[in-house]
Structure 1
Amino acid sequence: MPVMRSTGTCVTTSTLGESVQAFVPHVLPPRDPALSVDAFAALNQAAEHALARLSGVSGLVPSVDWLLYSAIRKEALLTSQIEGTQATLTDLFDDEAGLAVSNTDDVEEVTNYLRAFRHVRDALRDPAGLPLSVRLLREAHGLLLDGARGRGKQPGELRRSQNWIGGTRPGNAVFVPPPAEQVAALLADVERFIHEPAPADLPPLVRIALVHAQFETIHPFLDGNGRMGRLLITVLMEHWQLLPEPLLYLSGYLKRHQSEYYRRLSGIRTDGDWEGWVAFFLEGVAVAASAAERNIVAIASLVAADRRRLLAEPKATPASYRLFELLPMMPRFTIERVRQQLDTTFPTANAAVKLLETLGIVVELTGQKKNRSFSYQSYIEMLAD
């Protein structure tokens, strides 16, 4: 049975001419009673061990940049799909290759997430950069909502009006977040919780679970709250040294269990069930880390096998070797892009691509003689699995 506690208060406010009960959460950590950490100590240990294994297996590939390229893009894609974006990994790779994509707005949302994530990560890695703060999150939010779909949704600004979740109008909403005038103070409390000395009885993963849920409850922006909240998870994993690099794409687990994800967050507000949410989160981290570990092993095996085929080919050239090493970070490409990346002539680039195509490592997509594009298809299919 969940522990019953009050996790906030309701205040009456009005929006669009309707009176509603907005939920204002208590500050972290949970109190009265305190969080029952012992209840999921085993889950936390399993999740930490899964993350440690994921960290260790990254040494299987010659460059961790390969892993980061795919892992960050998978997280960007999956976190956007939770919000209804229909873009695929192939769309994202095509866009980066300069190829035409049909759902340009959806791809823009995913690439905006990548920009926002890089901005936060770069700031935290720069000794002169901003700390993890409301200001930094606002800057990231400005990048996330940059473009046509974000226009009118106050990118980079805390909301100045009452929002609601679910329902057709405020009066029948599933959830009404805090009034706008309380958002800044509530976020300041979250920032304080992130930076204050960690209590011995709250492991880092548990604190991340608390931060994410609190952020989603505050819902500080007019749009993009889910993606920003999940960005916080990824950033804190690395910031609190649970992973050396952002190799985990937890949004895949959250997407597969989307109804339960929302139900557990709601249970905090309605029933005070922080324990149920934290347990769900820890299970998700363990499952997602194990899946990422298996994916790395599979990718390492694929790339190693393809490399052996290339090395055994008598006609292989330095250009073909260099092109092959680029493929995990350039899985869709044109010959012109290869020419640019290798800084070589068109005939040399064409010959390198032709050799990899002959070996079955890459495939040509258009069936044309001109304006051809190519794909490291087996790699993309493995990533998309």
Structure 2
Amino acid sequence: MGQNAPYPALEKLPPKRESIETISILRQANKATAALAELKGIAKTIPNQAMLINAIVLQEAKDSSEIENIITTQDELYTALTINQTNVSPATKEVINYRKAIFLGFDFVKNQGFLKVNDIVNVQQSLVGNSAGIRSAPGTVLKNDKTGEIVYTPPQDKQEILDLLTNFIDHYNKEEPDLSPLINMAILHYQFESIHPFYDGNGRTGRILNILFLILNRLIDIPILYLSSYIIENKQDYYGLLNHTNRTGEWEEWILFMLRAVESTSLQTIKKINAIRNLLESVATEVQHSAPKTYKKELIELLFEQPYSKIEFVVTRLNVERKAASRYLRELENIGILESHKIGRETLYINRRLFDLLKDKMQ
């Protein structure tokens, strides 16, 4: 935008109805809603929902952080989660914090059925690992990474930020039966990013709020739809359309972008869930055939909740002695289900096929 003041001043919600319900928007909203409904149904075919939540939440944590140039690898993440390393990289630690923040927000939604402004603050604090809270000192501006040009100056006065957040959360929690929740999500996401209430973590917090909004509106049951992979692939459009809407007050292209993100990501996630289910069934059959004494439903499910496992996980889940747990894992390695890797004094057992599947973009 190239100016040092919010331009135009950020208006409170809601926008005028005619600007957010064009024919193109309504048509795309129907397509996105249908894809999301199919995803919700497919997700229910996985008997152990923890498998989906753990696998997909961590991928989202990685992708959403990557948008903010926080880069780590799948291997670093799973290793850190499995053996509780203290010397993990700062990027890996931030991604693990993101995962915690998603689960914290999910708990708020499940337990309350709504969100409060303070819940958003708690999610953001869990994410960034500090308690600075809502911006109180002026001077925050958003700049173009390459040119250094100021592209947007969010509201500076703390009371104005609080007023806008109160207006935001009122509309976030409000049931609007005559407006598509997906259109509403796009509007709410724009508004939150424009308020930019924190010194750090606004984008990641806003993307967590998207998924919690879908759960609140019963479009999905568990946190498994994330738009970050789509945003990474279309990062320039994402930021360009945020700025365009702020500069012009025109909503259509921004809302269409977000609706296409929901449709595309829903279809990708359906493919991923089907692939996980097929692999789960294939591995279960393989173990029953090649190592029948080792086969236990709970053991197979454990290996699909996280691609990296260790003896302690099996001891806890199956309530068996370490010797038995070690024997199960070694037997699964012998028949090619797992690979073992030594890290320090720990032996990790990797479900390589699941690991590779989770990395797959599923185009």
TM-score of the superposed pair, with normalisation by structure 2: 0.90
1:207 corresponding residue in structure 2: 184
2:25 corresponding residue in structure 1: 40
Q: Gapped runs of 5+ residues in structure 1? A: 1-9, 11-18
- Choose from 300, 312, 321 the match for 1:345: 321
Deviation at 1:376, TM superposition (A): 0.5
Secondary structure of residue in 2 paired with 1:22: coil
> Could you tell me which amino acid in structure 1 is paired with residue 124 of structure 2?
H
Structural mapping, 1:12-91, within 5 Å: 20-23=4-7, 24-31=9-16, 34-91=19-76
Residues 116 and 140 of structure 1 are in contact (CA less than 8 Å); yes or no, is this contact kept in structure 2? Answer: yes
1:191 and 2:169 equivalent? yes
1:219 and 2:196 equivalent? yes
Distance 2:336 2:145 in 1: 53
Deviation at 1:172, TM superposition (A): 3.5
Distance 1:325 1:141 in 2: 32
Q: 1:242 to 1:32 in 2, by over 3 A?
A: closer
Distance 2:207 2:267 in 1: 19
1:139 corresponding residue in structure 2: 122
Deviation at 1:340, TM superposition (A): 4.0
1:303 corresponding residue in structure 2: 280
Secondary structure of residue in 2 paired with 1:350: helix
Deviation at 1:367, TM superposition (A): 9.8
Distance 1:352 1:134 in 2: 47
**Which sits farther off after the overlay, 65-74 or 167-176?**
167-176
2:301 corresponding residue in structure 1: 325
Residues 83 and 346 of structure 2 are in contact (CA less than 8 Å); yes or no, is this contact kept in structure 1? Answer: no
1:379 corresponding residue in structure 2: 354
Q: 1:226 to 1:367 in 2, by over 3 A?
A: closer
> Could you tell me which amino acid in structure 2 is paired with residue 295 of structure 1?
K
Provide the aligned length of Structure 1 versus Structure 2. Answer: 357
- Choose from 311, 317, 330 the match for 1:354: 330
- Choose from 98, 122, 129 the match for 2:83: 98
Q: 1:250 to 1:349 in 2, by over 3 A?
A: same
Residues 86 and 106 of structure 1 are in contact (CA less than 8 Å); yes or no, is this contact kept in structure 2? Answer: yes
Secondary structure of residue in 1 paired with 2:142: coil
Residues 85 and 106 of structure 1 are in contact (CA less than 8 Å); yes or no, is this contact kept in structure 2? Answer: yes
1:6 corresponding residue in structure 2: none
Deviations 1:218-242 (A, max 9, x none): 1110000000111110100110111
**Which sits farther off after the overlay, 292-301 or 32-41?**
32-41
Residues 32 and 263 of structure 2 are in contact (CA less than 8 Å); yes or no, is this contact kept in structure 1? Answer: yes
TM-score of the superposed pair, with normalisation by structure 1: 0.85
> Could you tell me which amino acid in structure 1 is paired with residue 120 of structure 2?
L
Mark the structure with the bigger radius of gyration. Answer: 1
Residues 365 and 372 of structure 1 are in contact (CA less than 8 Å); yes or no, is this contact kept in structure 2? Answer: yes
Residues 20 and 183 of structure 2 are in contact (CA less than 8 Å); yes or no, is this contact kept in structure 1? Answer: no
Secondary structure of residue in 2 paired with 1:303: helix
1:13 corresponding residue in structure 2: none
Q: Which stretches of structure 1, 4 residues or more, deviate above 6 A after TM superposition?
A: 168-171
Identical amino acids, percent of aligned pairs: 26
Residues 58 and 296 of structure 1 are in contact (CA less than 8 Å); yes or no, is this contact kept in structure 2? Answer: yes
Deviation at 1:102, TM superposition (A): 6.5
- Choose from 253, 261, 279 the match for 2:230: 253
Residues 335 and 350 of structure 1 are in contact (CA less than 8 Å); yes or no, is this contact kept in structure 2? Answer: yes
Q: 1:142 to 1:170 in 2, by over 3 A?
A: farther
Deviation at 1:378, TM superposition (A): 0.8
Q: Gapped runs of 5+ residues in structure 2? A: none
Secondary structure of residue in 2 paired with 1:97: helix
Deviation at 1:40, TM superposition (A): 1.7
- Across the aligned residues of Structure 1 and Structure 2, the Cα RMSD in angstroms comes to 2.6
Distance 2:146 2:346 in 1: 50
1:107 and 2:92 equivalent? yes
Deviation at 1:64, TM superposition (A): 1.6
> Could you tell me which amino acid in structure 2 is paired with residue 260 of structure 1?
D
Deviation at 1:114, TM superposition (A): 2.0
2:341 corresponding residue in structure 1: 365
Distance 2:343 2:163 in 1: 59
> Could you tell me which amino acid in structure 2 is paired with residue 134 of structure 1?
V
Deviation at 1:68, TM superposition (A): 1.2
Deviation at 1:306, TM superposition (A): 0.7
Distance 2:60 2:42 in 1: 19
Q: 1:64 to 1:25 in 2, by over 3 A?
A: same
